Structure 1
Amino acid sequence: MMKYAEVIIPLPLANTFTYGIPEAMVSFITVYSRVVVPFGKKHYYTGIVTGICDERPETHYEIKEIFVLLDEKPAIRSAQLRFWQWIASYYLCSIGEVCRAALPSGLKLASETIITANPEYEADGLLKPNEQKILDALSSTSNLSVSALERVSGLKNVFPAINSLLEKGAIGINESLKEGFRSKTETYVCLAGNMHKEEEIEAILISLKRARQQEKLLMDYLVLSGIVLIPGTAHVVLVDDPDSGKKKYRYKIESETGSIAVRPVLKKRLLTYSGIKPPVLNSLIKRGIFVLEERTVSRIESSDSGMGELSVLSDSQQRAYEEIQKSFETKDITLLHGITSSGKTEIYIHLISDALSKGMQVLYLLPEIAITTQITGRLRQVFGRRLLVYHSGFSDNERVEIWNRLLYSDEPMVILGIRSSIFLPYACLGLIIVDEEQEPSYKQQDPAPRYHARNAAMMLALEHGGKVLLGSATPSLESYLWALNGKYGLVKLEQRYGEGLLPKIDIVNVRELRRKKRMKDTLFSPLLREKIE
Structure 2
Amino acid sequence: MNGNTMYFLELVLPLATPTTYHYQLAPHQFNSDIDTLVGRRAVVPFGGKRFYTGIIVSVSLAPPEGIASSKLKYVLSLVDDSPLVPSAQIDLWHWMADYYCASLGSVLRLAVPHGLLPESRTIIHLNPDFIATTSLSALEVQVLDVLAQAGDDGLTLERLQSMIEQRVSRAYYRLLALGAISTDEVIRSHYKPKLKACLRLSEAYRTDEALEQVFRDMKRATKRMEVLTSFLSALLSLGGDYAALIPRGQLTSGDASIAIHLRKLVELGVLELVQVADSRLNTPDEEDLNIACDKGNEYSAYSLTQSVTLLRSRDIESKESSIIAQVKDVITAGGQVLLLSPSASGVPRAAHYLSALKQASKGKMYHYHPDVSEAKRIELYKHLSSTEEACLILGNRSAIFLPCRRLQLIIIDDEQEYMYKHQYTAPLFHARDVALYLTAKERIPVLLSSCSPSAETLFNVLRGKYGSIDLDKGTLANSPIPSIEIIDLKKEKREARGKDISVISPSLRIHIERVLAKGQRVLLLQNRRGYAPYMLCSVCSSAVKCPRCAISMSYYASRRLLSCSQCGYTEPLPQACPSCHATESKRKDKLIPALRLVGYGTERVEEEVNELFPDARVMRLDGETLQTASRRQESLERIEAGDVDIIVGTQVIKTQPIWDNIGLIAVVQLDDILGYPDFRAGERAYQLLYQMALYRANGASEQDFRIVLQTSEPKHPFIEALKMFDYDAYIKEVLGERQRYHWPPFTRVSYVVVKGYDEHDTEKMAHVYAQVLQGKLGKEWVSGAQALSAIKIEGRYVRHIVCRRPYNVSFREERRVFKEALEWLRATYPNYSRVHISFDIDPL
Q: Normalized against structure 1, the TM-score is what?
A: 0.83
Amino acid at match of 1:40: G
Q: Once the two structures are superposed, what CA deviation does each residue of 1:281-339 show, in whole Å capped at 9, x if it has no partner?
A: 3332233322223333211012154987983659xx85xx67x52xx21x211122222
1:196, CA displacement in angstroms? 6.2
The correspondence for 1:459, drawn from 430, 437, 451, is 437
Give the Cα separation in 1 of the matches to 2:412 and 2:241.
54
Pick closer, same or farther for the CA change 1:201–1:445 going to 2, 3 Å. same
1:393 is matched with 371
Map 1:77-476 → 2, pairs under 5 A: 77-123=86-132, 127-142=136-151, 143-155=154-166, 157-179=167-189, 181-193=191-203, 195=205, 201=211, 204-222=214-232, 225=234, 264-276=245-257, 280-305=261-286, 311=294, 318=299, 324-325=302-303, 328-329=304-305, 331-339=306-314, 341-372=316-347, 376-476=354-454
Structure 2 gap segments, 5+ residues each: 518-844
CA-to-aligned-CA distance 1:117-136 (integer Å, 9 cap, x gap): 12233445664454344333
Give the C-alpha shift of residue 371 in structure 1: 2.3
Shift in Å at residue 408 of structure 1? Answer: 1.4
Task: Tell me the SS of whatever aligns to 1:299.
Answer: coil
SS in 2 for 1:509: strand
Distance in 2 (CA, whole Å) between partners of 1:83 and 1:419 is 15
1:64 maps to amino acid: K
Corresponding residue SS for 1:141: helix
Matches of 2:454 and 2:260, distance apart in 1: 64
Taking the aligned partners of 2:487 and 2:468, their CA distance within structure 1 comes to: 35
What amino acid is aligned across from residue 157 of structure 2 in structure 1? V
1:146 is displaced (CA, Å) by 2.2
Secondary structure at 2:393 match in 1: strand
Aligned partner of residue 508 in structure 1, secondary structure: strand
Q: SS of the residue aligned with 1:516?
A: helix
Q: State the secondary structure of the residue aligned to 1:10.
A: coil
Q: Distance in 2 between matches of 1:167 and 1:131?
A: 12
Say which is worse superposed, 368-377 or 427-436, in terms of deviation.
368-377
Q: Give, in whole Å, the separation in 2 of the partners of 1:369 and 1:72.
A: 33
1:425 deviation in Å?
0.9
Aligned positions, number: 494
Q: 1:59 to 1:397 in 2, by over 3 A?
A: farther
Distance 1:166 1:210, change over 3 A: same
Q: 1:97, CA displacement in angstroms?
A: 1.0
CA distance in 1, matches of 2:373, 2:6: 40
Determine the structure 1 residue equivalent to 2:709.
Answer: none
Q: Greater shift after overlay, 191-200 or 281-290? A: 191-200
String of CA shifts for 1:88-123, please: whole Å, max 9, x gaps: 111110111111211122221211111111223344
Is there any run of 5+ residues in structure 1 with no aligned partner, and where?
234-258
Q: Deviations over 1:461-496 (max 9, x none)?
A: 323211111111222221122222322222333399
**Which has the higher relative contact order, 1 or 2, with Cα contacts under 8 A spaced 6 or more apart?**
1
CA contact under 8 A between 1:437 and 1:476: conserved in structure 2? yes
SS at match of 1:186: strand
Distance 1:52 1:199, change over 3 A: closer
1:141-174 Cα offsets, whole Å, 9 max, x none, are 130112322332222x332331122123221122
Q: How far is the alpha carbon of 1:184 from its aligned partner? A: 3.0
Name the SS for the 1:507 alignment partner.
Answer: strand
Letter of the structure 2 residue corresponding to residue 101 of structure 1: L
CA distance in structure 1 between the partners assigned to 2:451 and 2:211 by the alignment: 67
RMSD: 3.3
Q: Is the 8 A contact 1:227 1:262 kept in 2?
A: no
Distance 1:500 1:310 in 2: 28
1:45 and 1:377 map into 2 onto residues whose CA distance is 42
Moved more, 514-523 or 435-444: 514-523
CA distance in 2, matches of 1:438, 1:486: 19
Q: Distance in 1 between matches of 2:389 and 2:483?
A: 48
Equivalent residue in structure 2 for 1:17, among 5, 17, 21: 21
User: Given that residues 113 and 378 in structure 2 are in contact (C-alpha distance below 8 angstroms), is that contact kept between their aligned partners in structure 1?
Assistant: yes
* 2:531 is equivalent to residue 527 of structure 1: no
Q: 1:27 aligns with which of 13, 18, 31?
A: 31
Task: Give the CA deviation at 1:86.
Answer: 0.7
Deviations 1:188-239 (A, max 9, x none): 122344556777656544532433553343244356x2768x9xx9xxxxxx
Who is 2:496 aligned against? 517
1:10 partner amino acid: P
Residue identity opposite 2:454 in structure 1: S
- Check 1:63–1:263 CA distance in 2 against 1; reply closer, same or farther (3 A cut): closer
Shift of 1:49: 1.6
How big is each residue's C-alpha offset from its partner over 1:58-104, in whole Å with a ceiling of 9 and x where there is no partner? 34693111111112321211111111111111111011111121112
2:43: which partner in 1? 36
